[in-house]
Structures are given as C-alpha cells and as structure tokens.
Structure 1
C-alpha cells in the first residue's frame, strides 16, 4: 500500500518543526472529521483538511471558504496531512516549509456527497464553517471551491460615503448627537474580505490591517489625515462586520462595533467621539487647528450621500 504521508514527511524535519510527523497514517476508516486552519505564512491563507482513509486530504484556500454561491475561490491541492493535524496549532519556524503562525479556525464533521479524482462534494458541520461545497479541478493542477447553498452573509453595502450637511450652529438637542473632529483629510472606505483589501493597491501599508482581520469581513469608513506631519488613517464608522451589514443600524450600535475592533496601529487608529459634548470638542478643534466638528445623530442609520443626520460645524 502506498504511503500517503511520504510527501508530507519529505518536507518536514521533526527536529526543527513542532508539527506532528508520524511514521504512518492513522487507521481510522470511515472517519469524517474536518479542520480549517488559519495560516499566517508567507501570505495569509486557510487550510481546509478533510479526513479520508486515515489522512487529512488538504487544500490551501488563499481567500478562505466562499461565503456565497456567486464567488468561487482558488483552492490549491497540497500534500495529505496526518490525522494529528486536526488539533495542531502553533508557530512553524521561519525557514521551514509553511513557516508562520497556524491556528485552528474551525473543526467539526462533514458528509461526503461525491468523492472523485477531480471533484469532491461535501457538507461541513462546524461552528464557523457550515454548508454545502464542491471542490473541482480545472485545467492542470488548479482547483476551485464553490459554495452550493444559499449566501451565508449579507451583501456588501455600496461603497459610497455618508456626507455631512454644513451648519453654523450647534443643534438645540445636542444630547442627541455624538461630536467628532472634522479632520480635513481625504475620505477612504476600506472593504476587507479574506484578509485582503482593494484599498492596498493605492496604499500598500493597508495590507497589514487587512491581514489582521483574518477571515472577518468588514467595510470601514475613515479619513486620511495629516497629524503632526505624518499621514494617519482615522476610522469613524463601520458599515459591515463579519458577514452582516450595519448600515441600517443606529450610529450608537455601529460605533460600539467599531470600538470593539480596537483598531490601533502605526498608520491607523479609531477616531474619538464624545456624545453630547459639543462645546469642549469645538474648543479642542480650535486649539488643534482642525477645520471643524461633525455632529452625528445617535439614532441615525448610515445613509450614502449628503445627510442631515450628520452636521459639519465650524470650530
């Protein structure tokens, strides 16, 4: 019988990597476990592994499992892995094959609907990964993965920013608003999906931010501002989070979800906001030479285009 782990062992030195390197496959015929591992290696990807005849048949999926049937994702068929890899997590040393951090993203069981040399249909039963999928081979050695059931997430919202209306006086019901600095920068909406963002084409340094999200989807609203002579991206709204659109939610809910992300980095941060504190924020804006203050109604949804729920006030 062919040794299904020969290729796996040939790429690993058990004296240099904490990965399991067994002598032979584990004889568990009929097993139906799966694992998806998040792998921060040379490039972020997810490893899908399905138990089959005592080994974990594996595919590397650069953008993770597709969330809806409208988008197929690349899946690179890799070597079979040992069953011990179902629970493996840790740091593979740099310089070794697959060097980087690996965590278990989800695990569970799966049902096989079809298993052929060029096509595998299956149903995942996990906490985060669930639904019907098909892996199919295209030309050459390339594989793709397709979701066969309904969308697992809301569609992304239109990437059009909400804009404030100019006003000279503080609203009388100031307690119904949160007050933020007007930064005087350039508006930037940042969509994040599969640990990547299209915004990195113009701003390559955003790749680190996108990768830090892992498989979490998001659309962030912010502004490129110059503070202390350095360019900084300040985020002040969250339109989409982890598969759910937040545009219909009130500002207070979106703001709480944004702050929960704890976005703090060398090139980005979460903008501060002060509910009901109109005059102190205006005074601080004057002292810092900022162009004004934005008053945002606490109960306002996110409305692309000009809105009277956001007011741009002079400092």
Structure 2
C-alpha cells in the first residue's frame, strides 16, 4: 500500500517545525473526525481536514466555509495530513512550508454522504461549524465548497450610514444621551467577512484589521480623521457582529459590542464616548480644534440617513 503521508513528510523537516511528523498512520475512535484550522500564513485561510482511511484529507479554503447556499467558496486540495493534526496549533517557523500561526477553529465529527474523486458530500457536527456541505472538483487541485442547507445568519445591513441632525444647543435631557467628538473626517463603513474587507481596495492598511477578525463577520462604522498629523480610522458603531445584525439594537448594546472587540492599532481605534456629560466633552472638542460634539440617544436603533436620534452640536 502506498504511503499516504509521503508528500506531507517531503514538505517538512521534523527538526525545524513543531508539526507532527509520525512514522505511521492512526485513526480516531470512530473514524469520522474533522478539524478546521485558522491559518495566518502568507495569506489568511482556513484548512478543512476530514478523516479518511487513517489520514486527514485536506483543503485550504481562503474565505472559510460558506455561510449560505447562495455563495460558493474556493477550496484548494492539499496533501493528506496525519491524524495528529486534529489537535495541532502553534507557530510554524517563517521560511518553512506553511509558515505562520495556526489555531484550531473548530473540531468534531462528520457524516459522509458521498465520497468520490470529484465530489465529497458531508455533514459537519462541530461547535462552530455544522450543516451539510459538498466539495466538488473544478480543475486539478481546485475545488469549490457549497453549503447545502441554510445557515442561521442575518443579511448584511444597508450601506447607508446614520447621520446626525444639526442643532445649536445640546439636548435638555442629557441623561438620555452619550456624547462623542465630531471628528470632521470622512465617513467609512467597513464590512469584514472571511478575514477580508472591500474597504482595503482604497485603504490597503485595513487588511491587517480584517485579518484580525478571522472568520468573524462584522460591519463597522467610523470616520477617517487626522489626529496628530496622522490619518486614523476612528470607529464609533458596530452594525453587524458574527452573523447577527445589530441595527435594531439600542445604541448602548451596539456600543458595548463595539468596545468588546478591543479595536486598537496603529491606524485605527475605538472612539471615546461619555454618557450624560456634554459640557466637558464640548470643552475638550474646542481645545482640540474639533468641529463639535455628537449626542447619541442611548435607546436609539441605527437608522440609515439623517436621524433626530443623533444630534451634531458645533463647537
């Protein structure tokens, strides 16, 4: 019988990589395990591995598993991997094959509905990945992966931002509002899916932000502002998070979800927000030469277009 791991071994030096390089094949208890690894290599991708006859048959999926039947994703078949890879995570040294950080994104069992050289139908039973999928070969090592059942995922929100109504005076009921700086920059919505964002076409430095989200989907609302002579993307709202639309949630819930992301980098940050405290915020805006303050109702949903729930008060 041919050595199913010969290609795997040929690509790796056990003295240079922490990856498992076993001498023989093994299997799981039931012979139907799977693992999906998030792989921050030269390009972010996810590795789907299905147990089959003592090895993990593997595909690299650049955009991760599709979340709805209307979108197919590319899946490039790679060499079979050893069963020990079910639990592998760590740093593959730079310069080695597949160099980069690898983490276990999900693991579990699967059911085989069909397996041939050109088509693999299966059902995943994992904590993060579940459902019916089919892999079908298109050309050579290139396959496509299609979801056969509907995922419980909200559609992305409209691409129109919420805009404030201008007022000369602050609201009387300050306790019903949070107050933020008006940055005087250019508005930018940033959709993130599969570790990528279309906003990177104009701003390539956003690729790092998108990659940091991994497989988590999101739509961020913010503003490109110049602070200290540098252009910074300041985020102040979150419209979509990990498959769930937040536009119908109150500002307080969206703000809490945004802050939980911990967005902080050389080119982006989370905007500060102060509930019930207009005076000091306006004074700080004046001192920093900012155009004014935006008051946001704590109970307001996200409403595309001009809204009276957000108020711009000039400095």
Q: TM-score normalized by structure 2?
A: 0.98
The alpha-carbon distance between structure 1 residues 27 and 310, as it changes in their structure 2 partners (threshold 3 A), is closer
| Unmatched segments (≥5 aa) in structure 2 | none
Q: Give secondary structure in 2 for the equivalent of 1:200.
A: helix
User: What residue in structure 1 maps to residue 251 of structure 2?
Assistant: 251
1:57 maps to what in 2? 57
- Structure 1 residue 228: Cα displacement: 1.1
Query: Helix, strand or coil: the match of 2:37?
Result: strand
- Whole-Å separation in 1 of the counterparts to 2:269 and 2:304: 23
In the alignment, what sits opposite 1:176? 176
Provide the C-alpha distance between the structure 2 equivalents of 1:262 and 1:92, rounded to a whole number of angstroms. 27
Deviation at 1:30, TM superposition (A): 5.7
8 Å CA contact 1:17, 1:93 repeated in 2: yes
RMSD between aligned alpha carbons? 1.0
Looking at structure 1, the residues matched to 158 and 70 of structure 2 have their Cα atoms a distance apart, in angstroms, of 17
Paired residue for 1:95? 95
Alignment check: 8 A CA contact 1:28 1:53 kept: no
Structure 1 portions without partners, runs of 5+ = none
- 1:309 corresponds in structure 2 to 309
Note the C-alpha offset of 1:28. Answer: 5.6
Greater mean alpha carbon deviation, residues 131-140 or residues 184-193: 131-140
Post-superposition CA distance 1:59-78 (Å, at most 9, x none)? 00001011111111100000
Distance across 2 between alignment mates of 1:226 and 1:27: 57
- CA offsets, 1:37-86, max 9 Å, x none? 00000010000000000000000000101111111110000000000000
Contact 1:32 1:111 in 2 (8 A): yes
Quote the Cα distance in structure 2 between the aligned partners of 1:162 and 1:47: 38
C-alpha deviation, 1:151, in angstroms: 2.4
**Cα distance between partner residues in 1 of 2:240 and 2:28:** 42
- The ranges of structure 1 where at least 4 consecutive aligned residues each deviate by more than 3 angstroms after the TM superposition are 27-30
Alignment coverage as a number of residue pairs: 315
CA distance in 2, matches of 1:98, 1:140: 20
Where does 1:226-245 land on structure 2 (aligned, <5 Å)? 226-245=226-245
What secondary structure sits across from 2:56 in the alignment? Answer: strand
| Per-residue CA distance 1:253-308 (angstroms, 9 max, x = gap) | 00000000000001100000001101111111111110010000000000111100
Deviations 1:5-61 (A, max 9, x none): 011000000011110111122156960000000000001000000000000000000
Residue in 1 aligned with 2:9?
9
Counterpart Cα distance in 1 of 2:165 and 2:82:
60
The answer to whether the Cα contact below 8 Å between 2:162 and 2:302 also exists between their aligned partners in 1 is yes
Aligned residue in 2 for 1:148: 148
Matched ranges for 1:1-315 at <5 A: 1-26=1-26, 31-315=31-315
CA displacement, residues 133-188 of structure 1 (integer Å, 9 cap, x when unaligned): 00001133310101100123111111110000001111111110000000000000
